[in-house]
Amino acid sequence: MPLTLADSSPVDSPDREYLWTLNFGPQHPATHTTLRLVLTLDGENVVSAVPHIGYLHSGFEKLGEHLDFNQYVTIVDRMNYISPLANEISWHHAVETLLGIELTPRCIYIRTICAELMRLHDHLLNVGTTALDLGAFTAFLYAFTQREKIYDIVEYASGQRFHTSYTRVGGVLFDVNNDWVNKVRSFVNAFGETHAEIHKLLTRNRIFMDRTKGIGVLTKEDAIRFSATGPLARASGVVRDLRKDEPYLAYRDFDFKVVCSQGGDCYARYLVRMQEMLESVKILQQAIENIPAGPINIALETDVVLPAKPAVYRSIEGLIQHFEVIMPNRGFPVPHDEVYAATESPNGELGYYIVGDGTPRAYRARTRPPSYIHFAMFPHMVKGHQLSDVVAILGSLNIIAAELDR
Amino acid sequence: MLDLLKSQLPTLITIAIALGAILTTCAYLIYIERKISAFMQDRVGPNRVGPLGLLQPLADGAKFLLKEDVIPGHVDKVLYLLAPCVAVFTAMLAFAVVPFGPVGDEPSWMRFIIAPDLDMGMVFIFAIGSLSVYGVVLGGWASNNKYSALGSLRASAQVVSYEIPLGMSILGVALVSGTLNLEQILAQQAKGGFLAWNVWTQPLACLIFFTASLAEANRLPFDLSECEQELVGGFHTEYSAMKFALFFLGEYTHMITIAFLMSVLFFGGWHSPLATAESAYPGAWAVKLGVLFAKVLLVILFIMVIRWTIPRFRFDQLMGLAWKVLIPLALGNVIALMVIRQFGLSLWWSTVASAVMFCIAGAISTNASRAALERARSPLATAG
Task: Express each pLDDT in A357-404 by its tens digit.
Answer: 888 888 988 999 888 888 888 888 888 888 888 888 888 888 888 888
Q: How far is CA B238 from CA A121, B78, B219, in A?
A: 36, 14, 20
Shared-domain flag, residues A36 and A80: no
CATH number, domain of A241, equals 1.10.645.10
By CB atoms closer than 10 A (0-12, 13-18, 19+), residue B202 is: buried
Using alpha carbons, select from B289, B307, B253, B257 the residue that is nearest to residue B29: B253
Q: In whole angstroms, what is the distance from residue A57 CA to residue A47 CA?
A: 28
> B230 and A131 in contact by Cβ < 8 A?
no
Distance from CA of A49 to the nearest CA of B (A): 15
Q: How far is CA A347 from CA A279, B148, B341, in A?
A: 15, 34, 63
The amino acid present at A240, given as its one-letter code, is R
Residues of A in contact with B306 (CB under 8 A): none
* The predicted structure's pLDDT at residue B384: 41
Q: What's the whole-number mean pLDDT along residues B304-327? A: 86
The answer to whether the beta carbons of residues B294 and B64 sit under 8 Å apart is no
Shared-domain flag, residues A45 and A171: no
Q: Which of A310-324, B309-323, B363-377 is least confident?
A: B363-377
**Residue A365 dihedral angles phi and psi, to the nearest 5°:** -125, 85
Question: Residue-wise over B257-279: b if at least 16 C-beta within 10 A, else e?
Answer: bbbbbbbbbbbbbbbbeebeeee
Could you give the percent of chain B with pLDDT greater than 90?
1
Residues of B in contact with A388 (CB under 8 A): 224, 227, 230, 312, 314-315
> B382 and A258 in contact by Cβ < 8 A?
yes
Quick check: A10 pLDDT over 60? no
Band of residue B9 on the pLDDT scale cut at 50, 70, 90: confident
Mean pLDDT of chain B: 81
* The predicted structure's pLDDT at residue A45: 83
Quick check: A149 pLDDT over 50? yes
Quick check: B316 pLDDT over 90? no
Could you give the percent of chain B with pLDDT greater than 70?
90
Q: What's the whole-number mean pLDDT along residues B144-172? A: 85
Quick check: A142 pLDDT over 70? yes
Q: CB-based contact (8 Å) between A190 and chain B? A: no
Shared-domain flag, residues A26 and A86: no
Residues 6+ apart with CB under 8 A from B335: none
> B383 and A207 in contact by Cβ < 8 A?
no
Q: Which of A202-211, A321-330, B275-284 is least confident?
A: B275-284
Tell me the torsion sign for CA atoms A335, A341, A345, A347: positive
Tell me the angle at which helices B241-266 and B146-177 cross, rounded to the nearest 10 degrees.
Answer: 20
Q: CB-based contact (8 Å) between A278 and chain B? A: no
Q: Which of A248-252, A360-364, B21-25, B100-104 is least confident?
A: B100-104
Coil, strand or helix: which one is A37?
strand
Using alpha carbons, select from B34, B231, B84, B210 the residue that is nearest to residue A386: B231
Shared-domain flag, residues A101 and A23: no
Shared-domain flag, residues A359 and A385: yes
Shared-domain flag, residues A308 and A343: yes
Quick check: A94 pLDDT over 80? yes
Using alpha carbons, select from B161, B138, B308 the residue that is nearest to residue B236: B138
Which residues 73-102 in chain B show a CB within 8 A of chain A? none
* The predicted structure's pLDDT at residue A12: 54
* The predicted structure's pLDDT at residue A4: 47
Q: In whole angstroms, what is the distance from residue B56 CA to residue B252 CA?
A: 17
Shared-domain flag, residues A319 and A242: yes
Which residues 359-378 in chain B show a CB within 8 A of chain A? 369, 372-373, 375-378
Shared-domain flag, residues A353 and A208: yes
Residues of A in contact with B150 (CB under 8 A): 22, 44, 387
Band of residue B374 on the pLDDT scale cut at 50, 70, 90: low
Shared-domain flag, residues A166 and A287: yes
Higher pLDDT, residue B276 or A323: A323
Q: Give ipTM to 2 decimals.
A: 0.81
Shared-domain flag, residues A220 and A266: yes
Shared-domain flag, residues A259 and A352: yes
> A28 and B382 in contact by Cβ < 8 A?
no
Which residues 23-52 in chain B show a CB within 8 A of chain A? 37, 40-43
> A391 and B230 in contact by Cβ < 8 A?
yes
Q: Which domain holds residue A385?
A: 60-403
Looking at residue B195, the DSSP 8-state letter turns out to be: G
Shared-domain flag, residues A279 and A371: yes
DSSP H helices in B41-71: 56-66
Q: Give the number of domains in chain A.
A: 2
Of B146, B221, B376, the CB nearest to A135: B221
The answer to whether the beta carbons of residues B185 and B177 sit under 8 Å apart is yes
> A141 and B377 in contact by Cβ < 8 A?
no
Express each pLDDT in B68-111 by its tens digit. 888 888 888 888 888 888 888 888 888 887 877 776 666 666 67
* The predicted structure's pLDDT at residue A6: 46
- Which residues sit opposite A52 in a β-bridge? A36
Band of residue A354 on the pLDDT scale cut at 50, 70, 90: very high
Mean pLDDT of chain A: 86
By CB atoms closer than 10 A (0-12, 13-18, 19+), residue B205 is: buried
Express each pLDDT in B238-258 by its tens digit. 888 888 888 888 888 888 888
Higher pLDDT, residue A300 or A255: A255
> B317 and A272 in contact by Cβ < 8 A?
no
Express each pLDDT in B126-143 by its tens digit. 888 888 888 888 888 888
Residues of B in contact with A264 (CB under 8 A): 378
Residues of A in contact with B230 (CB under 8 A): 30, 387-388, 390-391
Distance from CA of A352 to the nearest CA of B (A): 26
Of A23, A29, A142, the CB nearest to B228: A29
pTM: 0.86
